[in-house]
Amino acid sequence: MLLTVTCPICGARGSAPCRECLERLRPAPTLPPPLGVDTCLALLSYEGAGRELVARLKYRNHRGVVGGLGAAMAALVGDAGAIDVVTWAPTTRERRRERGFDQAELLARSVARRLRRPSLGLLHRAPGPAQTGRSLAERRCGPRFQVRRRLPGWTVLVVDDVVTSGATASAAAWELRRTGSTRIVVLAAARTPRPGPAAAAYTSDVAHGSVVASRCQSQAKRPT
Ligand SMILES: [Zn+2]
């Protein structure tokens, strides 16, 4: 049986991705990790072909992208033995239902297999709008997560599809730390190259770390 391979970025037949798209992919920018995160690793710059590749995974159910991305992302992790568990920053329940899958979970499971580390759904995302539908002020605090299982002293690798403002990664890291995990490594398929308004605001928050941490803590305590 002949399988037709199509480029997940431009749809051309041949290889996945095709050579032209491969040349258009840029490596992730070198930026400081989001607040609360020890190390932030990212594969691609979230622009052009890299952005299209992540969008295919996220919105167009192009799950064939997962294996290749997972392998390349896993290769960024230098010392897999230092990672105790692989988890992911879950999308909203509504998004998951719409799409039928959580792209961050698919990537995390693929990365964990490559690294030969266990993967566990450690984080529960509290109900609320997706980051893309929120105001700048709300986005700066990130979504609210709750830990399903405490892992005191563990090093946790948190996988996400894309790091933009860094607020989601920070919110996940903060909750994992609060419940005892000691080292948080974030691994993303892509990271935004230049700070947009949300990332610029977030970067200034990082410079005043205690301010954003206390504000987000008070938001987390708000009754639901
Ligand atoms: Zn292509």
Quick check: 1 pLDDT over 70? no
Q: What is the DSSP string of 93-156?
A: HHHHHHHSS-HHHHHHHHHHHHHT--B---EEEPS---GGGS-HHHHHH---EEESS--TT-EE
- From the CA of 10, how far away is ligand 1's center (Å)? 4
Quick check: 2 pLDDT over 80? no
Residue of 3 and 41 predicted with greater confidence: 41
Cα(115)–Cα(218) distance, rounded to whole angstroms? 37
The confidence score (pLDDT) of residue 219 equals 46
Quick check: 12 pLDDT over 90? no
Average pLDDT over residues 33-50: 94
Task: Decide: 117 and 159 in contact? Cβ < 8 Å.
Answer: no
Find the angle CA(143)-CA(173)-CA(138) to the nearest 5 degrees.
Answer: 25
Query: What percent of the chain lies above the pLDDT cut of 90?
Result: 48
Query: What is 33-221's CATH number?
Result: 3.40.50.2020
pLDDT digits (tens, 9 = 90+) for 76-123: 998 899 999 999 999 888 888 888 889 999 999 999 999 999 999 999
Quick check: 201 pLDDT over 80? no
State the chain's mean pLDDT as an integer.
82
- From the CA of 33, how far away is ligand 1's center (Å)? 31
Enter the pTM of the model.
0.82
The single-letter code of the amino acid at 177 is R
Task: Decide: 186 and 173 in contact? Cβ < 8 Å.
Answer: yes
- From the CA of 51, how far away is ligand 1's center (Å)? 13
Which residues are in the CB-under-5-Å shell of ion ligand 1?
7, 9-10, 12, 18, 21
The confidence score (pLDDT) of residue 220 equals 44
CA distances to 8, 116, 127, 131 from 138, rounded to whole Å, are 33, 36, 14, 8
The single-letter code of the amino acid at 71 is A
- From the CA of 7, how far away is ligand 1's center (Å)? 5
Average pLDDT over residues 172-199: 86
Question: Which residue is associated with the tokens 């993303």?
Answer: 188
